[in-house]
Amino acid sequence: EAQVTQNPRYLITVTGKKLTVTCSQNMNHEYMSWYRQDPGLGLRQIYYSMNVEVTDKGDVPEGYKVSRKEKRNFPLILESPSPNQTSLYFCASRTTGVGTGELFFGEGSRLTVL
Amino acid sequence: AQSVTQLGSHVSVSEGALVLLRCNYSSSVPPYLFWYVQYPNQGLQLLLKYTSAATLVKGINGFEAEFKKSETSFHLTKPSAHMSDAAEYFCAVSDKKGSTLGRLYFGRGTQLTVWP
Protein backbone atom coordinates (compact mmCIF):
# COMPACT_ATOMS: atom_id res chain seq x y z
CA GLU A 1 0.00 0.00 0.00
CA ALA A 2 1.31 3.45 -0.96
CA GLN A 3 1.82 5.47 2.15
CA VAL A 4 3.73 8.06 4.13
CA THR A 5 4.56 6.87 7.64
CA GLN A 6 5.40 9.16 10.52
CA ASN A 7 6.62 8.23 13.98
CA PRO A 8 5.85 8.88 16.72
CA ARG A 9 2.19 9.82 16.30
CA TYR A 10 2.05 11.36 19.75
CA LEU A 11 4.88 12.68 21.89
CA ILE A 12 5.15 14.69 25.07
CA THR A 13 8.62 15.96 25.86
CA VAL A 14 10.36 18.65 27.87
CA THR A 15 12.15 21.79 26.83
CA GLY A 16 15.64 21.15 25.51
CA LYS A 17 15.43 17.40 25.06
CA LYS A 18 16.43 16.59 21.48
CA LEU A 19 13.93 14.61 19.48
CA THR A 20 13.51 13.27 15.98
CA VAL A 21 10.27 12.66 14.11
CA THR A 22 10.78 10.12 11.38
CA CYS A 23 9.08 10.13 8.00
CA SER A 24 9.26 7.41 5.40
CA GLN A 25 7.50 6.98 2.05
CA ASN A 26 7.31 3.90 -0.17
CA MET A 27 6.34 5.58 -3.45
CA ASN A 28 9.82 6.52 -4.70
CA HIS A 29 8.88 10.20 -4.53
CA GLU A 30 11.53 12.83 -5.10
CA TYR A 31 9.81 15.64 -3.19
CA MET A 32 9.28 15.48 0.57
CA SER A 33 8.17 18.17 2.96
CA TRP A 34 7.39 18.93 6.59
CA TYR A 35 4.52 21.13 7.73
CA ARG A 36 3.24 22.25 11.06
CA GLN A 37 -0.42 22.96 11.65
CA ASP A 38 -1.57 25.39 14.30
CA PRO A 39 -5.11 26.69 14.95
CA GLY A 40 -5.86 29.73 12.82
CA LEU A 41 -2.53 29.54 10.99
CA GLY A 42 -3.23 26.70 8.58
CA LEU A 43 -0.34 24.64 7.26
CA ARG A 44 3.09 26.22 7.38
CA GLN A 45 5.99 24.65 5.62
CA ILE A 46 9.08 24.00 7.71
CA TYR A 47 11.51 22.41 5.24
CA TYR A 48 11.25 20.65 1.92
CA SER A 49 13.48 18.49 -0.20
CA MET A 50 13.43 18.17 -3.97
CA ASN A 51 15.61 15.06 -3.93
CA VAL A 52 18.37 13.24 -2.03
CA GLU A 53 20.84 15.66 -0.43
CA VAL A 54 18.78 18.66 -1.60
CA THR A 55 16.91 20.51 1.14
CA ASP A 56 15.51 24.04 1.42
CA LYS A 57 13.95 26.17 4.08
CA GLY A 58 10.23 26.70 4.06
CA ASP A 59 8.42 29.49 5.84
CA VAL A 60 9.15 28.54 9.46
CA PRO A 61 12.50 26.69 9.61
CA GLU A 62 13.81 28.18 12.88
CA GLY A 63 14.46 25.55 15.52
CA TYR A 64 14.29 22.63 13.10
CA LYS A 65 16.76 20.58 11.09
CA VAL A 66 16.24 18.00 8.38
CA SER A 67 18.34 15.62 6.37
CA ARG A 68 17.73 13.65 3.18
CA LYS A 69 20.34 10.94 2.95
CA GLU A 70 18.00 8.42 1.36
CA LYS A 71 15.15 8.98 -1.03
CA ARG A 72 12.53 7.34 1.17
CA ASN A 73 13.36 9.05 4.49
CA PHE A 74 13.10 12.66 5.61
CA PRO A 75 13.49 12.99 9.39
CA LEU A 76 12.64 16.20 11.25
CA ILE A 77 15.01 17.03 14.08
CA LEU A 78 14.31 19.36 16.97
CA GLU A 79 17.70 19.91 18.57
CA SER A 80 16.39 21.87 21.57
CA PRO A 81 12.60 21.86 21.58
CA SER A 82 10.73 24.78 23.09
CA PRO A 83 7.05 25.15 24.04
CA ASN A 84 6.32 27.21 20.91
CA GLN A 85 7.08 24.08 18.88
CA THR A 86 4.05 22.37 20.37
CA SER A 87 2.07 21.59 17.25
CA LEU A 88 0.68 19.00 14.87
CA TYR A 89 3.30 18.01 12.31
CA PHE A 90 2.71 16.50 8.89
CA CYS A 91 5.15 14.91 6.50
CA ALA A 92 4.22 14.70 2.84
CA SER A 93 5.67 13.49 -0.44
CA ARG A 94 5.05 13.56 -4.17
CA THR A 95 6.77 13.18 -7.49
CA THR A 96 8.32 16.24 -9.13
CA GLY A 97 7.06 15.21 -12.54
CA VAL A 98 4.03 17.14 -13.67
CA GLY A 99 1.85 14.07 -14.14
CA THR A 100 -0.36 14.42 -11.11
CA GLY A 101 1.17 16.78 -8.58
CA GLU A 102 -0.75 15.16 -5.76
CA LEU A 103 0.86 15.49 -2.36
CA PHE A 104 0.50 12.43 -0.12
CA PHE A 105 0.34 13.11 3.61
CA GLY A 106 1.23 11.11 6.65
CA GLU A 107 -1.26 10.85 9.49
CA GLY A 108 0.41 13.51 11.57
CA SER A 109 2.53 13.67 14.71
CA ARG A 110 1.17 15.59 17.66
CA LEU A 111 4.03 17.04 19.68
CA THR A 112 3.73 18.69 23.08
CA VAL A 113 6.76 20.44 24.58
CA LEU A 114 6.45 21.23 28.28
CA ALA B 1 7.09 32.90 -4.26
CA GLN B 2 3.47 32.05 -4.63
CA SER B 3 0.73 33.07 -2.25
CA VAL B 4 -2.71 31.61 -1.71
CA THR B 5 -5.59 33.47 -0.11
CA GLN B 6 -8.66 31.73 1.19
CA LEU B 7 -11.42 34.22 1.93
CA GLY B 8 -13.25 33.30 5.09
CA SER B 9 -11.65 31.15 7.75
CA HIS B 10 -15.08 29.80 8.71
CA VAL B 11 -18.08 29.09 6.49
CA SER B 12 -21.40 27.78 7.78
CA VAL B 13 -24.19 26.40 5.62
CA SER B 14 -27.37 24.44 6.15
CA GLU B 15 -27.63 20.89 4.94
CA GLY B 16 -28.73 20.96 1.32
CA ALA B 17 -27.45 24.48 0.68
CA LEU B 18 -24.78 25.51 -1.79
CA VAL B 19 -21.19 25.34 -0.58
CA LEU B 20 -18.78 27.99 -1.90
CA LEU B 21 -15.23 28.19 -0.61
CA ARG B 22 -13.08 30.88 -2.15
CA CYS B 23 -9.44 30.68 -3.17
CA ASN B 24 -7.24 33.20 -4.98
CA TYR B 25 -3.61 32.72 -5.94
CA SER B 26 -0.84 35.07 -6.94
CA SER B 27 0.89 33.34 -9.84
CA SER B 28 1.04 35.08 -13.21
CA VAL B 29 1.78 31.77 -14.89
CA PRO B 30 -0.98 29.12 -14.97
CA PRO B 31 -0.04 26.95 -12.02
CA TYR B 32 -1.10 23.60 -10.71
CA LEU B 33 -3.95 24.12 -8.23
CA PHE B 34 -5.33 21.80 -5.60
CA TRP B 35 -7.99 21.52 -2.97
CA TYR B 36 -7.34 19.27 0.01
CA VAL B 37 -9.76 18.26 2.75
CA GLN B 38 -8.97 17.42 6.35
CA TYR B 39 -11.58 15.62 8.41
CA PRO B 40 -11.34 15.84 12.20
CA ASN B 41 -8.30 14.07 13.63
CA GLN B 42 -7.08 12.98 10.22
CA GLY B 43 -4.43 13.95 7.72
CA LEU B 44 -5.09 15.78 4.47
CA GLN B 45 -6.43 14.08 1.37
CA LEU B 46 -6.75 15.36 -2.17
CA LEU B 47 -10.20 16.57 -3.15
CA LEU B 48 -9.42 17.71 -6.70
CA LYS B 49 -6.71 19.27 -8.83
CA TYR B 50 -6.29 21.54 -11.84
CA THR B 51 -3.37 20.74 -14.13
CA SER B 52 -4.04 22.94 -17.20
CA ALA B 53 -6.59 20.68 -18.83
CA ALA B 54 -10.32 21.46 -18.41
CA THR B 55 -10.99 24.61 -16.40
CA LEU B 56 -13.90 23.00 -14.56
CA VAL B 57 -12.55 20.22 -12.40
CA LYS B 58 -14.64 17.58 -10.70
CA GLY B 59 -13.48 15.94 -7.51
CA ILE B 60 -14.63 13.44 -4.97
CA ASN B 61 -17.85 13.66 -2.94
CA GLY B 62 -19.61 15.93 -5.46
CA PHE B 63 -17.19 18.84 -5.19
CA GLU B 64 -15.96 20.81 -8.17
CA ALA B 65 -13.80 23.86 -8.79
CA GLU B 66 -13.40 26.27 -11.66
CA PHE B 67 -10.08 27.75 -12.70
CA LYS B 68 -10.48 31.39 -13.79
CA LYS B 69 -7.20 32.79 -15.03
CA SER B 70 -8.51 36.35 -15.40
CA GLU B 71 -9.55 36.37 -11.75
CA THR B 72 -6.66 34.21 -10.50
CA SER B 73 -9.27 32.19 -8.66
CA PHE B 74 -10.00 28.54 -8.01
CA HIS B 75 -13.19 28.50 -5.95
CA LEU B 76 -14.58 25.22 -4.62
CA THR B 77 -18.31 24.50 -4.86
CA LYS B 78 -20.81 21.79 -4.08
CA PRO B 79 -24.47 22.20 -5.02
CA SER B 80 -25.90 20.57 -1.91
CA ALA B 81 -24.07 20.30 1.40
CA HIS B 82 -24.15 17.15 3.47
CA MET B 83 -23.40 16.78 7.15
CA SER B 84 -20.40 14.63 6.26
CA ASP B 85 -18.82 17.58 4.39
CA ALA B 86 -17.98 19.29 7.68
CA ALA B 87 -14.19 19.54 7.60
CA GLU B 88 -11.33 21.94 6.98
CA TYR B 89 -10.54 22.71 3.36
CA PHE B 90 -7.18 23.89 2.05
CA CYS B 91 -6.40 25.44 -1.30
CA ALA B 92 -2.86 24.98 -2.61
CA VAL B 93 -0.78 26.08 -5.60
CA SER B 94 2.41 24.58 -6.96
CA ASP B 95 5.40 26.15 -8.62
CA LYS B 96 6.32 24.70 -11.96
CA LYS B 97 9.56 25.12 -13.86
CA GLY B 98 9.44 23.43 -17.21
CA SER B 99 8.37 19.89 -16.52
CA THR B 100 9.24 19.92 -12.82
CA LEU B 101 6.92 20.77 -9.97
CA GLY B 102 8.41 22.70 -7.07
CA ARG B 103 7.09 23.85 -3.73
CA LEU B 104 3.45 23.54 -2.82
CA TYR B 105 2.00 26.63 -1.12
CA PHE B 106 -1.09 26.31 1.08
CA GLY B 107 -3.78 28.76 2.05
CA ARG B 108 -4.73 29.11 5.70
CA GLY B 109 -7.74 26.87 5.38
CA THR B 110 -11.50 27.28 5.65
CA GLN B 111 -13.46 25.42 8.30
CA LEU B 112 -16.81 24.31 6.89
CA THR B 113 -19.68 23.75 9.32
CA VAL B 114 -22.89 22.14 8.09
CA TRP B 115 -26.04 22.70 10.14
CA PRO B 116 -28.91 20.18 10.10
Sign of the Cα torsion B41, A95, A67, B108 reads negative
- A96 to B34: CB separation less than 8 angstroms, yes or no: no
pLDDT at B27: 72
pLDDT at A102: 85
* Mutate which: A102, A104, A109, vs B, most B CBs within 10 A: A102
What integer is the mean pLDDT of A9-22? Answer: 96
- B34 to A43: CB separation less than 8 angstroms, yes or no: no
Q: Within 10 Å of residue B16's Cβ, how many Cβ atoms?
A: 11
Q: Give the C-alpha separation, A78 to A34, whole Å.
A: 12
pLDDT at A98: 65
Write out chain B's pLDDT in tens, 116 residues.
778 999 999 999 999 999 999 999 987 666 789 999 999 888 899 999 988 778 899 999 999 999 998 899 999 999 999 999 999 999 998 877 766 777 888 999 999 999 99
* Mutate which: B6, B44, B93, vs A, most A CBs within 10 A: B44
pLDDT at A100: 67
- A95 to B101: CB separation less than 8 angstroms, yes or no: yes
What integer is the mean pLDDT of A92-107? Answer: 84
- A90 to B51: CB separation less than 8 angstroms, yes or no: no
Cβ-based contacts of B27 with chain A (< 8 Å): none
Q: Give the C-alpha separation, B116 to B113, whole Å.
A: 10
Of the pLDDT bands very low, low, confident and very high (cuts 50, 70, 90), residue A99 is low
pLDDT at B58: 93
For A34-47, how does the pLDDT look when each residue is reduced to its tens digit (9 = 90+)?
Answer: 999 998 888 999 99
pLDDT at B82: 96
pLDDT at B69: 87
Instruction: Report angle CA B18, B20, B23 to the nearest 5 degrees.
Output: 170
Question: Which residues from B are below 8 Å from A when comparing CB atoms?
Answer: 9, 32, 34, 36, 42-46, 49, 51, 90, 92, 94, 96, 99-109
Whether omega for the bond prior to residue A8 falls within 30 degrees of 0, making it cis, is: yes
For A26-84, how does the pLDDT look when each residue is reduced to its tens digit (9 = 90+)?
Answer: 999 999 999 999 988 889 999 999 999 999 999 999 999 999 999 999 999 999 999 99
Backbone angles phi, psi at B80, to 5 degrees: -140, 110
- A31 to B101: CB separation less than 8 angstroms, yes or no: yes
pLDDT at B37: 96
Q: Which of B87, B62, B82, B64 is nearest to B74 (CA)?
A: B64
Q: Give the C-alpha separation, A78 to A63, whole Å.
A: 6
Q: Within 10 Å of residue B44's Cβ, how many Cβ atoms?
A: 27
Q: What is the DSSP letter of B85?
A: G
Distance of CA A18 to the CA centre of its chain: 16
The answer to whether the CB of A77 falls within 8 A of the CB of A64 is yes
Cβ-based contacts of B107 with chain A (< 8 Å): 42
Q: What is the DSSP letter of B60?
A: G
Radius of gyration (Cα) for chain A, nearest Å? 13
Instruction: Report angle CA B30, B28, B60 to the nearest 5 degrees.
Output: 35
Q: What is the DSSP letter of A1?
A: -
- B49 to A97: CB separation less than 8 angstroms, yes or no: no
Q: Which of B44, B43, B52, B49 is nearest to B63 (CA)?
A: B49
